[in-house]
A and B are shown apart, each in its own frame.
Chain A
Amino acid sequence: MRLLATYDWYLVWENKTDLARGLLTAIEVAGVALVISLVVGIVLALVRMSKPPFSWVAMVYVNVFRGVPALVSVIWVYFGVSLLLGINFTVFQAGVIALVLLYGAFISEIYRAALLAIPKGQREAGLAVGMHPLRVFVQVIFPQATKIAIPNIGSMFIGMIKDTSTFTVIGLLEVLRVTQNINSVTFQPFVLFTAAAAMYVGATFFFDFVFRVVEASMTIPPGGGVAGIFSRRRHQRIDLVVKQVEAMSGRN
């Protein structure tokens, strides 16, 4: 304990603005990448579940990019694409694209499993009432699959935030890069990297909480919190319709 006290922990406080900005950048990159990854992942899942040869293409993509480390992915996107195609991304863009390439693949597997978990009777019931197949997917299958997928998507997002640490190689000013920069001046790696780790863990707890709230809002029947407000309003409307129809049948 005395040993720990000998370190200059005040250093972390002195650099709090830069560190916080680094964490914010990491969350921004991961957040934008999550939104795009969801779209890519859902499309990939559908292609994977379609007929060969399309499903094979999706399968190969998914396995390649689940296997590629984030570090390699971002080097391809930032340096490789620039060399081969002459397209120069900003570090922010390169980070987002690198994450989407990887996590689109992971999320497609999460959605594939979730979609397969929905009984086929749900699709049949939607079709049998004359709904267009696309509408059956959007309004019947997809919401149920998303409810199943949400906890795993939360884990993915935490992984994405953590993977932004590798983007230090392209000079993105995320937590690790900021830490390294401060360290190169102060030579206090133990203090600084411990602080960096604490920030990632803090972010993990925070987003775990956020995803739990989202998950809770999707339980049926809806529980408290935000979902409770929507559910109360929905029920007020339903009660109104019920009363109307009751009154009409009363007159007949």
Chain B
Amino acid sequence: MSDAPEPDGAPRGEAVVELRGIRKSFGTLEVLHGVDLTVHTGEHVVVFGPSGSGKSTVLRTINMLEEPSEGSVKVLGVEYGPGLPDVKAEKRGGPVQLRRHVGMVFQQFNLFPHLTALHNVSLPLRAAKKMSRRDAEERAAQSLAQVGLLRWAGHYPAQMSGGQQQRVAIARALSLDPKVMLFDEPTSALDPELVGEVLAAMRELAESGMTMVIVTHELNFAREIGDFNVFMDEGVIVESGRRGFFDTCESPRTRQFIEAVL
């Protein structure tokens, strides 16, 4: 895995996601005051911080579910955001094109309740990848097998536990062969006993070399998996660092937060 980061977390791969000067306002309230973040191939980036710090908003700008008011969102070198002043992007893309490279897993799973697990995964394959029904269903079944849920293919979301639903959601995002996977507090809505199976699926994905950006409150998991760690508060990145960040961070605000959570 040549793109995997160095043992200290220093990146070896190329930049997949580049956020520069991201500002976001809802009405008159500015919630992001200029955020820069680079995610390299094979890298696992962890974003954490208190509620309302803007970490989910940052994540959601990466696939344009949240359109930044200002700033540059580059994925694989293509500009999808408003861009930086005085810089003219060579290549610009639309949100639908962007999302075909970026997978996302939500806090509330957001499976489609009217479809079986298999069709939750195969629908996007048919819609976004224009695969035939037969190919899409076969690919979907393989994805479900990857997260250990092949036997649940014919079940509806309401018949599955939260942990199983979230694993289907992971399979759904994975089946599209994304270049980067975004996780928005993927275990926050789960019963404590179900957190483990989702983290295990994510760990396996990380080991396979997938590029990941994870917003989470699970700091033990973050410490274990994060090549690059970002602490956010009140719409800015307070501090960030590579492996060992949780022991070496300097800002009193970061220390205070980590101690309160761990």
Contacts and interface: CB of A to CB of B under 8 A. Distances in A.
Interface of A: 119, 121-122, 124-133, 135, 139-140, 143-144, 147, 220-221, 234-235, 237-239, 241-242, 244-246, 249
Contact of A132 (B96, B141, B159): B96
| Most chain B beta-carbon neighbours within 10 Å: one of A129, A132, A220, A237 | A129
A140 B111 CA distance: 10
A127 B116 CA distance: 19
Interface string B140-168: 11100100001101111011000000000
Given A129-B176, A246-B150, 4 more contacts: A121-B110, A131-B96, A244-B141, A245-B141
Contacts of B106: 121, 124-125, 128
Nearest to B65: A124
Given A121-B106, A249-B145, A135 B137 contact: no
Contacts of A237: 137
A220 B113 contact: yes
Contacts of B114: 143-144, 147, 220
Contacts of A139: 123, 127
B65 A127 contact: yes
Contact of B154 (A129, A147, A238): A238
Nearest to A235: B154
B138 A241 contact: yes
A206 to B, nearest CB: 28
Interface in B90-105: 95-96, 99-100, 102-104
B173 interface: yes
Contacts of B112: 122, 125-126, 140, 144
B261 interface: no
Contacts of B140: 241
A240 B91 CA distance: 44
Given A124-B106, A221-B159, A131 B118 contact: no
Contacts of A242: 118, 141, 150-151, 153-154
Interface of B: 63, 65, 95-96, 99-100, 102-104, 106, 108, 110-114, 116, 118, 123-124, 127-129, 137-138, 140-142, 145, 150-151, 153-156, 158-159, 169, 172-173, 176
A126 B123 CA distance: 9
A122 B154 CA distance: 20
Contacts of A127: 65, 95, 99
Contacts of A133: 96
Contacts of B142: 245, 249
A242 B159 CA distance: 18
Contact of B138 (A122, A220, A244): A244
The 9 closest A-B CB pairs, nearest first, are A130-B128, A129-B124, A125-B110, A130-B100, A245-B141, A121-B110, A128-B104, A130-B99, A238-B154
